[in-house]
Amino acid sequence: MALLKSNKVIHCLGNISPALGALSSRNSSWWGGVQMGPPDPILGVTEAFKRDTNPKKMNLGVGAYRDDQGKPFVLSCVRKAEALIAAKQLDKEYLPIGGLGEFTKACAQLALGPDSEVLKSGRSITVQTISGTGSLRIGGNYLARFHAGPHDVYLPKPSWGNHTPIFRDAGMQLKAYRYYDPSTCGFDFKGALDDITKIPEKSVIVLHACAHNPTGVDPRPEQWKEIADIVKKRNLLVFFDMAYQGFASGDIDRDAWAVRHFIEAGHNIVLSQSFAKNMGLYGERVGGFTVVCSDAEEAKRVESQLKILIRPIYSNPPLNGARIASTILSTPELRSIWLEEVHGMANRIIKMREQLVAGLKQQGSSHNWQHVIDQIGMFCFTGLKPEQVERLTKEFSVYMTKDGRISMAGVTSGNVGYLAEAIHAVTK
Amino acid sequence: MSVFCEVPQGAPVAVFKLTQDFNNDQFPNKVNLGVGAYRTDEGKPWVLPVVKKVEKIIVHDDRLNHEYLPILGLPEFRSSSSKIVLGDDSPAIREDRVGGVQCLGGTGALKIGAEFLRRFYNGNNNTKTPVYVSAPTWENHNAVFSSAGFEDVRPYKYWDAQKRGLDLSGFLRDLESCPERSIFVLHACAHNPTGTDPTQEQWKQIAEVMMRRKLFVFFDSAYQGFASGNLEKDAWAVRYFVSMGIEMFCAQSFSKNFGLYNERVGNLTIVARDADNLKRVLSQMEKIVRTTWSNPPSQGARVVAVTLSSPELFSEWKDNVKTMADRVLLMRAQLKAKLQALGTPGTWDHITDQIGMFSFTGLNAKQVEYMVKEKHIYLMASGRINMCGLTSKNIDYVAESIHEAVTKVQ
């Protein structure tokens, strides 16, 4: 009763003074103690971009592919698949917890290759997940519950910003191994090997299968081989994150090379896949989580546990995107169109990289911009310093994240010249 | 030596195992009264005509693409969903203190709500706050809250097996004696699995105790419109609680009332004291969503948003919902009539007193086993049947089988 009375008093006082009013509302709410969550850094970039009135403004924060007109691109194989699906007049019954069977099969085959011994022997399980994030989260939850080794997940330095909170919320601890060398804007191969050699046995190591996010720096095949060796010697559990298969080099097999090599080298990996970028299915949330096991019997047990993890989160996954993806992958005509289109997307990115470097040379830049071409995938770690990034934003309305990362997807033949001008201006 | 060699085989989810067994059964007159999905009188799934219409609109709209939705979901979906449960004229909405988080089905909404409560309710990261779920309740409620980290998930009295109705005094006693600030999961309507809802007067009593004892209200609304055929009627309890000034969560599912089961369409409606509290809550919800699924799937939410925002389509949807609700009511009436005509021992009023998709028949485990094994009629071990599984073609067989089970098996 006293509490109610004092609330009334505070409320009346609140009518006199806003500050006291705020006190009243916080005291009488369950949520008075809830702090405002920190703003998302990347979202902040987009917000600021939207507010900018400069007609030449460029949003290089966006993590979604854009065509040469700067517009979102719906793949024609996706539209065709949608039409095929619509004609079938299917029902909307719940999917199984593990997802659409045709999808998980095609998803695994895409990653591991059609001739995979793993698939032939049935010693893996793939569940449909809520795109890459959902896959990583289920993976993290699975490891937190069942991994017999240390619950330390080693991420490359740097890694995708969301990796850390995902694994943390899943109940794992985060550690890092050297990866990016800022002095070369390339791969710190020696640093990586040195660090990996010291990782305690049975820890979990996250590897970006291709098109490393955020740096765009990937190991070369010979380097991957050495990494696979060291990881084997250290007996680490490999967690591959493959969000860009096909999108990196334009070739799905080439982009999956590392994953397949590790498996051939005897690693029983776990793997997250996303179809957000390579099929442009971002908002449909299409992904897969795969566990390669010793044998089919173990795979069955693992599957049963994955289902138990999934059920209390969202019961079963959404159908629409998975059906589109599976239709594309298993309809020969659509599959070839898809391969062409993903090749086209990758090519446009590669071309923009080349044009940006050519543009910088043309501007008279004396810096070495080779890394812009050597890096691969959607993102480029320019090597720009925070002060330079700030100038780019303030003086040229070019928006990117403070770490100097740009999304090549935001670059078009129409604006690459301007970008070269702007970067030269802040770096000369 | 595999890292996973120690992983034990997990038990399958009962209701899905039931459907699996049903599917494998070769008996020609088998009946599936298990999983909770609507079926037509031909025993087929039903894609709502309005949904078919809207999906065509969407697929032909070249302006639409597959870009990411915002973390909290499609804005038009969130606001129209909250409106649907709270009412267009809801003062809470007018006062800007209602927010929505688009989630993956009702399950997803419960999950995000549970994760938030574990982090921010009753202190920070207080995993010891008791969470009460009805006895019995949907079998996944327990797992959602315990997997969100709550250590103490307990039953509150609800179903009185003796009188086959609500154990109101037991329920109220639990509300009076539980620790303050306990979280209670309430079924907004069409209680799953019993089909037994409190009356309006009973809801008023429940609300009074919950307010007085500072208990947290978490509504689970999976059947709005589907229970009585009337959206407002099915939302009465939620709206009453809001009108009493209670801050709460309401997990909404559009799986059944839109028939969008596999598109995973849900909304977590948050009713806060004021806009400032709401803003901070939503900012933290974003963090939780970001590490769970980043942003929700767009297809199903679009269908719902387009439907709810067009007066014509909205009206058509209400008709479709009424069609489903009416068929269920008809099956209830007919099943009861047939059991009475057969002279099946016991009273069968509960079949028509209960509401929604499910009925707690009162059959015991042995009788259920008889139904499944001998009669190839698949229902949950609890005696729960899905009324939607009944059709004009199988209702006689089911009624006769229930009669047999009750008379032959004790």
Quote the pLDDT of residue A10. Answer: 47
**In this complex, do B67 and A72 lie within 8 Å of one another by their Cβ atoms?**
yes
Min Cα separation B250/chain A (Å): 15
Quote the pLDDT of residue A26. Answer: 54
Q: Is the pLDDT of residue A19 over 60?
A: no
pLDDT digits 0-9 by tens, B51-62: 999 999 998 888
Residue with tokens 């269908």: B303
pLDDT digits 0-9 by tens, B149-172: 999 999 999 999 888 899 999 999
Q: In A, which residues are within 8 Å of B276 by CB distance? A: 22, 25-26
A13 touches B: beta carbon within 8 Å: no
Question: What is the model's pTM?
Answer: 0.94
Q: Is the pLDDT of residue A234 over 60?
A: yes
Percent of chain B with pLDDT over 70: 99
- Token readout for A59 is 């949003």
Residues linked to residue B156 through DSSP beta bridges, in sequence order: B134
pLDDT digits 0-9 by tens, A94-106: 999 999 999 999 9
Of B47, B68, B146, the CB nearest to A64: B68
Those residues whose C-beta lies under 8 Å from the C-beta of residue A333, and which sit 6 or more positions away, are: none
Q: In B, which residues are within 8 Å of A312 by CB distance? A: 107, 111, 140, 143-144, 146-148
**Cα B193 from Cα B135, distance rounded (Å):** 10
Mutate to test the interface with B, among A40, A94, A303, A323 (most CBs of B within 10 A): A94
**In this complex, do B9 and A304 lie within 8 Å of one another by their Cβ atoms?**
yes
Q: In A, which residues are within 8 Å of B124 by CB distance? A: 33
**Cα A108 from Cα A280, distance rounded (Å):** 19
DSSP assignments along A200-261, one per residue: PTT-EEEEE-SS-TTT-----HHHHHHHHHHHHHTTPEEEEEES-TTTSSS-HHHHTHHHHH
Quote the pLDDT of residue A7. Answer: 45
CB pairs under 8 A between A and B: 231
pLDDT digits 0-9 by tens, B105-123: 999 999 999 999 999 999 9
Q: Is the pLDDT of residue A20 over 70?
A: no
Quote the pLDDT of residue B162. Answer: 86
Quote the pLDDT of residue B12. Answer: 78
Quote the pLDDT of residue A1. Answer: 43
Q: Is the pLDDT of residue A8 over 80?
A: no
Q: Is the pLDDT of residue B6 over 80?
A: no
Of B111, B283, B295, the CB nearest to A313: B111
Q: In A, which residues are within 8 Å of B56 by CB distance? A: 86
Name residues 49-78 of chain A within 8 A of B (Cβ).
Answer: 64, 72, 74, 78
Catalytic residue numbers of B? 138, 220, 256
Name residues 288-307 of chain A within 8 A of B (Cβ).
Answer: 291, 293-294, 298, 300-302, 304-305, 307
- Select which of A80, A160, A195, A338 is catalytic: A160
Pick from A225-229, B4-8, B304-308: least confident: B4-8
Q: Is the pLDDT of residue B3 over 80?
A: no
Mean confidence (pLDDT) of chain A: 93
**In this complex, do A29 and B247 lie within 8 Å of one another by their Cβ atoms?**
yes
Quote the pLDDT of residue A323. Answer: 98
Average pLDDT over residues B387-408: 96
Percent of chain A with pLDDT over 70: 93
More confident residue, B98 or B161: B98
Pick from A58-67, B94-103, B323-332: least confident: A58-67
**Cα A28 from Cα A5, distance rounded (Å):** 11
Q: Is the pLDDT of residue B20 over 50?
A: yes
Name residues 14-43 of chain A within 8 A of B (Cβ).
Answer: 22, 25-26, 28-37, 40
Average pLDDT over residues A317-324: 98
pLDDT digits 0-9 by tens, A330-370: 999 999 999 999 999 999 999 999 999 999 999 999 999 99
Name residues 201-220 of chain A within 8 A of B (Cβ).
Answer: 202
Quote the pLDDT of residue B1. Answer: 58
pLDDT digits 0-9 by tens, B200-209: 999 999 999 9
More confident residue, A19 or A161: A161
Q: Is the pLDDT of residue A13 over 60?
A: no
Which region holds residue B193: left if phi is over 0, alpha if psi is between -120 and 50, else beta? Answer: alpha
Percent of chain B with pLDDT over 90: 90
Contact B252, A124 (CB under 8 A): no
Quote the pLDDT of residue B15. Answer: 80
Quote the pLDDT of residue A25. Answer: 54
Pick from A303-317, A359-373, B6-20, B238-252: least confident: B6-20
Pick from A58-62, A78-82, B252-256: least confident: A58-62
**Cα A287 from Cα A132, distance rounded (Å):** 6
Q: Is the pLDDT of residue B343 over 70?
A: yes
- Select which of A188, A218, A277, A369 is catalytic: A277
Contact B317, B50 (CB under 8 A): yes
- Select which of A188, A195, A218, A241 is catalytic: A241
Q: Is the pLDDT of residue B37 over 60?
A: yes
Contact B389, B328 (CB under 8 A): no
Tell me, what's the ipTM? 0.94
- Chain A residue with CA closest to B38: the answer is A93
Q: Is the pLDDT of residue A229 over 60?
A: yes
**Cα A192 from Cα A226, distance rounded (Å):** 11
pLDDT band at residue A2 under the 50/70/90 scheme: very low
pLDDT digits 0-9 by tens, B188-227: 999 999 999 999 999 999 999 999 999 999 999 999 999 9
pLDDT digits 0-9 by tens, B267-285: 999 999 999 999 999 999 9
